Amino acid sequence: MDLILKNGILVTSEEMYQADIGISGEKIAAIGTDLQDNTSKIIDVTGKFILPGAIDAHTHMALAFGGTVSSDGYLSGTKAAACGGVTTIIDYAMQRSGKGIMETIEERKSIAQAEVCVDYGFHCIITDLNNDAILDEFESAVQAGITSFKCFFVYKKEKMMVDDGTFLKVLLEADKVGAIVNIHAENSDAIDLNIERLLRNGKTSAWYHYVSRPECVESEAVKRAVHWAVSFNKPLYIVHMADKEGIEAVTLAKDSGYRIYAETCPQYLEFTCDVYKREDGRNFVCSPPMKGKDSKIALWDALKRGDIDTIATDHCPFYKEQKDWGINDFTKIPNGCGGIEFLYPYILNAANAGVISFSKAVEVCSFNPAKIFGCHEKGSLSIGKDADIVVYDPDKDYTVSAKHMHSKCDHTIWEGKSFHGFPVLTFVRGKLVYDNGKFMGVPGFGKFIKRKAKKTQVTSV
């Protein structure tokens, strides 16, 4: 073996126990007590936890949006990921009018591969089905390792929204080839109506971003998406869930045995819509926005009972200068916040405080994303799996400051947030990429993950 981590507490999605873990090449080679190998490097991690690396299944690196580009490209974004214990990202590649799926994916891969410091995959956002050849590409995309497609129920004016008919086409075709559909669920018509009325009445501050997209705007769209998925008995993954009524619809579908999966993000577990009343409220603008206190409580309750399946970040930061475009008009604020460096620390901090278990943290940040999206070499501490490993010190105190984070942004919504417990070592396929505050990775080391589709029984409609 090349490396043995000695005397740690291993955390899986089901249990915690003291053991050593051995790494050979890129793989986990052994797990046991008192592992011995005279040729191995030994790191004593007594008192520390050994976790599978987190999988952030929702990122937007170098995203062109709102007339600008998000501040983190694949280099800085995955550098930040490594320094927070995220060892794999699944980024969103957007198919535009006139472009095919594989053309879209290959373009993004050509940008990402030279820069990525952790492993990566892609979801493909479907925005244009005018050409039926796009549907014909679903099977070849799955064979190439793209096992998830995304639709928007929003951004109509930006020509990104799909109508219900197009959504159903995508839902049915994806299931036929063993893929899953991700949905951004907000009602575009309601949002546009609200925005028109607010601007007409001179209501332009960041607070009105929330007012234009209140709970009902999300819950209607979530219910609609769940309705179609349940009606046709197809799997559905709802991204960045933020409201109480929407998660109640998910719970009902799950309890009825349907394959509905829900993702939420740390920002919805931490903040409420009150942040938009702050002087720097525009820095918190993302879509969907943070909601009221009842929604925040409902999300935590759903996480504890298992109705939230994954935690991801929707990582999409913009510089202060970019956010300031909307200082007098909330519609001009680029939508998105950063957070990939603090995904695992945030959830593990909740575990350290006894809010959830450490096994639940591993389940929603690593095991479930790997299972849902076909990352079969990832997501658990098992012999033969990729040695994507995080060593976590439950006694290390850390306070977030933009001055010290590795993301390429000049501010963070997490400024001043304190964590009791923080990752101290991160390994990607056995390579040390983060060591006690210092980035140790190499741009281009990250490997494209060819994900595997689920076998599925095609049902007639």
Count CB neighbours of 416 within 10 A. 9
Determine the pLDDT at residue 277.
Answer: 98
Token pair, residue 420, equals: 């009791």
Alpha carbons within 13 angstroms on the beta-carbon side of residue 441 total 35
> 166, 95 in Cβ contact below 8 A?
no
Tokens of 242: 């933020």
Q: What is the mean pLDDT of residues 60-81?
A: 94
Beta strand 260-264 pairing with 310-311: parallel
Residues 131-186 have pLDDT tens digits of: 678 899 999 999 999 999 999 999 999 899 999 999 999 999 999 999 999 999 99
- Same CATH fold assignment for domains 3-51+378-439 and 53-372: no
- Report the mean per-residue pLDDT for the chain: 96
Which helix (H) or strand (E) is 392 found in, with range?
A: strand 389-399
* pLDDT of the residue at 458: 36
The CATH architecture of the domain made up of 53-372 is: Alpha-Beta Barrel (3.20)
Report how far residue 385's alpha carbon sits from residue 393's, in angstroms, rounded to the nearest whole number. Answer: 23
Q: What is the mean pLDDT of residues 443-447?
A: 98
Q: Which amino acid is at 177?
A: V
Instruction: Please write the tens of the pLDDT for every residue from 275-306.
Output: 999 999 999 999 999 999 999 999 999 999 99
pLDDT at 131: 66
Q: Does 334 sit behind a cis peptide bond, omega within 30 degrees of 0 on the bond before it? A: no
Q: Which has more confidence, 36 or 73? A: 73
> Looking at residues 118-142, what average pLDDT do you find?
91
459 vs 426 pLDDT, higher one: 426
Residue 45 in this model has a pLDDT that exceeds 70: yes
Residue 137 tokens read as 């590409």
Domain residue extents for the chain: 3-51+378-439, 53-372
Is residue 389 a contact partner of residue 53, using CB atoms and an 8 Å limit? yes
Q: What is the token pair recorded at 325?
A: 């475009």
Strand pairing class (54-59; 86-95): parallel
Task: Give mean pLDDT, residues 368-373.
Answer: 98
Whether the pLDDT of residue 232 is over 50: the answer is: yes
* Structure confidence at residue 455 (pLDDT): 58
Percent of the chain with pLDDT over 90: 93
pLDDT of residue 457: 37
Residue 351: is it exposed, middle or buried by C-beta count within 10 angstroms (0-12/13-18/19+)? buried
- Tell me the mean pLDDT in the region 76-80: 98
CA 286 to centroid of chain Cα atoms:
14
Cis peptide before 369 (omega within 30 of 0): no
pLDDT confidence band for 70 (50 / 70 / 90): very high
For the cut 90, the answer to whether the pLDDT of residue 76 exceeds it is yes
Tokens of 109: 């891969």
Q: How far apart are the first and last CA of the chain?
A: 53
pLDDT tier at 460, thresholds 50, 70, 90: very low
pTM over 0.85: yes
May I ask the CATH architecture of the domain 3-51+378-439? Roll (2.30)
- Structure confidence at residue 40 as a pLDDT band (50, 70, 90): confident
Residue 132: what pLDDT? 72
